[in-house]
Amino acid sequence: VKAKGFFCSRLWDTDDNWDYSGFNTLFREVEGGAQFSSDGSVYVAPPEPEPTPEPEPYVPTLEEIKGTKKQEIGIAYQAVKAAGVDIELSTGIEHFPLSEEEVTFLMGKQVELASGNGGNISYQDADSKCKFYSAEDMQKIIDEAFRFVSWQTTYRNTLWEWVDACETKEEVEAVAYGNDIPEQYQNDVFKSYLAQMEEETSEGN
């Protein structure tokens, strides 16, 4: 690299020169050559950009954790309810799923029974096959199914109340569908169900 200025011309016309004699300052070296300036300026590289810091991991608030836990409990509730319940009928024990559609259908069967239909009532079994049930068995299906749904709903709501009462994230995470509910978080309706079930268990024994 020679910083003394230079001339440029076409190979076939050496008289056609361009005078760059004033470009005698090395502006910067580039790959395979160099750049010059005529005003003494030299290349100054721009400053390296500041590294972008890694974002801090998001830490959910206690209220957000409670909301997520309630959603988790609600999903478990729907799954347990839809799975249904075993009911002992005059013909033996049968299993009845209890999705929202099936609960609504049972409400219609209750109206049908209340209208005075004392004969056989059609309903679907666990395999979604229609069959006839006696009025007594149909009433038992309705009563036991609604009782099961009511209990699961009360249990879900009480779990939600327990979550609301938690004061730390660890307490919230410890709550799960299927847990026994500590007495201090049991409301009056839940206690009433427990007492009724304990009484029925005692009578059964």
- Contact between 66 and 72 under an 8 Å Cβ cutoff? The reply is no
- Res. 205: pLDDT tops 60: no
- Specify the higher pLDDT residue, 9 or 170: 170
Contacts of 36-39 with C-beta under 8 Å, sequence gap 24+, read 36/3, 36/5, 36/6
Phi, psi of 19 (to 5 degrees): -90, 115
pLDDT band at 117 (very low <50, low <70, confident <90, very high): low
- Res. 21: pLDDT tops 80: yes
pLDDT score, position 204: 59
The tens digit of pLDDT for each residue in 128-165 reads 788 899 999 999 999 999 999 999 999 999 999 999 99
The tens digit of pLDDT for each residue in 59-116 reads 999 999 999 999 999 999 999 999 999 999 998 999 999 989 999 999 999 988 888 7
User: DSSP labels for 95-163?
Assistant: EE---HHHHHHHHHHHHHHHTT--S-EEEE-TTS-EEEE-HHHHHHHHHHHHHHHHHHHHHHHHHHHHH
